[in-house]
């Protein structure tokens, strides 16, 4: 016997604090609150990141300054930031659209890949003969990319609508299927001389870049931002219009809030699930098209550093608002770009992670009022 046996703990331990903290559901959310909590969450995330940086032996403030300079410091890096933001905007819109209806499409990554594949197929099968002008090739590639992404997105939609299959699992797993599908084509039929990439697309299949106009406007020389960014901005406007001003958008909002009320209102919920999943997939597919046609100019294995997953965070930060998605995507494009400059390169990824946690935690403040009351003896 070395020590006396500890006294048996009482069955219920109540810690007596002089106050109690309660969360009360908010009845009314003030208009300014969502924006304020987002800003607050970003500030808190930066503070936490700063502490982690300091603990790791870094200097937080110079590091943050460096990140900003590396992504917004000159016209050239701003252009690069926008290039990174483009696929995020489109995949972010894909997620925001589905999430509005509480459809948890976390398969934007796979739909992105299928879109890239569909766009590539136009020039690699080829569907159009060599030398077809851009004005035909590019719209065809966009259509093919959206069609491939949309069809791929419709799969989990149909499974959910018909059999009630959980869309999270299906979309997650289909991401791997899409990656293997790309691998098959770049290793096999479309392989360029045995390398894991396809032949470069002909110039007619490239989205125009600002640097293409450097002859006329010298300031554009070296600017890689491409037409896909414009497509993404137009998509944001269209998605916003769809959600706020269309019949389908109303149905999406109604189903998202109360599926039973939607059914009561005469909405075919199953049909809407399939449509929204297909639209979401088409947006992600368009992102894939924009990436192969605007940046890489060929199909290859490492075509996405996880845009479809970052898109989930982007959609959340934007509170599912299409214009917010544009802003959040540019911020995340900057973080991705800064990853090249900051050592270790994991720092921006850590900031992303902490940002997401802060934002999710801040939801509590939106829904609940924190009330501290003195405990009555």
Partner 1 sequence: MADDIAAPGPPLAVAMRGIVKRFPGVVANDGVDFDLRVGEVHALLGENGAGKSTLMNVLGGLYRPDAGEVAVFGERVDFHSPRDAIAAGLGMVHQHFALVPTQTVTENVLIGLDRPRFRIDLARFDDEIADLARRHGLALDPRARIWQLSVGEQQRVEILKFLYRGARVLILDEPTAVLAPQEADDLFRTLRSMVADGASVVFISHKLAEVSRIADRVTVMRRGRVTAAGIPSAGTTPEGLALLMVGREVLETIERTPFRPGPVVLSVRAVEATGDRGVPALRGVSLDIRSGEILGVAGVAGNGQSELAQIVTGLRPTTAGSVTVNGDDVTNRPPREVIRRHVAHVPEDRTGVGSAPDLSIADNLIMKSYHDAPIARRWAIDTGAVRRFAIGLKERFDIAAPSVDIDARLLSGGNLQRLILAREITSDPSLMVAVQPTRGLDVGAIATVHRLLLAQRESGSATLLISEDLDEVLGLSDRVAVMYEGRIVGIFDAVEADVAAIGLLMTGGSAPSLAEPGSPAELVS
Among the listed ranges 59-67, 96-104, 230-238, 264-272, the one in contact with partner 1 (CB under 8 A) is: 264-272
Q: CA dihedral in degrees (219, 225, 228, 232; nearest 10)? A: -100
| Residue 249 touches partner 1, criterion: CB under 8 A | yes
User: CA nearest 77: which of 93, 92, 88, 66?
Assistant: 66
Cα Rg for the chain, rounded, in angstroms? 24
**From CA 73, how far away is CA 342, in angstroms rounded?**
14
| Residue 265 touches partner 1, criterion: CB under 8 A | yes
Strand partners, 226: 209
Q: What token pair was written down for 139?
A: 């719209």
| Residue 375 touches partner 1, criterion: CB under 8 A | no
Burial classification of residue 138, based on how many CB atoms lie within 10 Å of its CB (0-12 exposed, 13-18 middle, 19 or more buried):
buried
Kindly tell me which residue out of 268, 345, 361, 369 binds partner 1, with binding defined by CB under 8 A: 268
Among the listed ranges 93-101, 148-156, 262-270, 310-318, the one in contact with partner 1 (CB under 8 A) is: 262-270
| Residue 14 touches partner 1, criterion: CB under 8 A | no
Kindly tell me which residue out of 131, 193, 194, 266 binds partner 1, with binding defined by CB under 8 A: 266
Per-residue 3-state assignment (H helix, E strand, C coil) for 158-206:
HHHHHHCCCHHHHHHHHHHHHHHHHHHHHHCCCCECCECECCCCCHHHC
Q: CB 247 → partner 1: shortest distance, Å?
A: 5
| Residue 260 touches partner 1, criterion: CB under 8 A | yes
Give the residue with the Cβ less far from partner 1, 122 or 239: 239
**From CA 323, how far away is CA 237, in angstroms rounded?**
8
| Residue 253 touches partner 1, criterion: CB under 8 A | yes
Q: CB 102 → partner 1: shortest distance, Å?
A: 11
| Residue 267 touches partner 1, criterion: CB under 8 A | yes
Kindly tell me which residue out of 176, 195, 264, 368 binds partner 1, with binding defined by CB under 8 A: 264
């Amino acid at each position: 016997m070395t020590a006396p046996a500890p006294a048996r703990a009482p069955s219920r331990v109540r810690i007596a604090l002089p106050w109690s903290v309660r969360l009360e559901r908010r009845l009314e959310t003030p208009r300014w609150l969502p924006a304020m909590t987002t800003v607050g969450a970003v500030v808190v995330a930066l503070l936490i990141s700063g502490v982690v940086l300091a603990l790791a032996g870094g200097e937080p403030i110079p590091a943050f300054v460096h990140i900003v300079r590396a992504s917004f410091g000159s016209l050239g890096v701003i252009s690069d930031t926008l290039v990174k933001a483009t696929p995020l905007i489109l995949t972010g819109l894909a997620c925001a659209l589905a999430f509005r209806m509480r459809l948890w499409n976390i398969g934007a990554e796979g739909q992105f890949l299928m879109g890239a594949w569909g766009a590539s197929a136009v020039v690699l099968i080829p569907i159009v003969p060599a030398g077809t002008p851009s004005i035909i090739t590019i719209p065809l590639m966009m259509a093919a990319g959206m069609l491939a992404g949309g069809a791929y997105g419709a799969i989990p939609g149909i499974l959910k609508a018909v059999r009630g299959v959980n869309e999270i699992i299906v979309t997650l797993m289909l991401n791997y299927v899409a990656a293997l599908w790309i691998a098959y084509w770049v290793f096999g039929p479309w392989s360029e001389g045995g390398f894991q990439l396809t032949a470069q697309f002909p110039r007619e299949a490239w989205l125009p870049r600002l640097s293409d106009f450097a002859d006329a406007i010298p300031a554009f020389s070296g600017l890689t931002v491409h037409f896909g960014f414009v497509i993404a901005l137009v998509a944001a406007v269209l998605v916003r219009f769809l959600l706020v001003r269309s019949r389908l958008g109303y149905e999406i909002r109604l189903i998202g809030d109360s599926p039973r009320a939607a059914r009561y209102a005469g909405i075919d919920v199953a049909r809407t699930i399939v449509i929204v999943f297909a639209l979401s997939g088409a947006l992600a597919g368009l992102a894939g098209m924009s990436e192969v046609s605007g940046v890489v100019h060929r199909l290859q294995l490492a075509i996405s550093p996880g845009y479809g997953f970052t898109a989930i965070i982007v959609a959340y930060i934007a509170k599912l608002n299409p214009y917010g998605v544009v802003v959040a995507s540019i911020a995340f494009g900057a973080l991705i770009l800064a990853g090249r400059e900051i050592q270790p390169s994991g720092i921006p990824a850590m900031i992303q992670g902490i940002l997401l946690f802060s934002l999710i935690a801040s939801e509590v403040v939106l829904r609940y009022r924190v009330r501290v009351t003195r405990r009555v003896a």
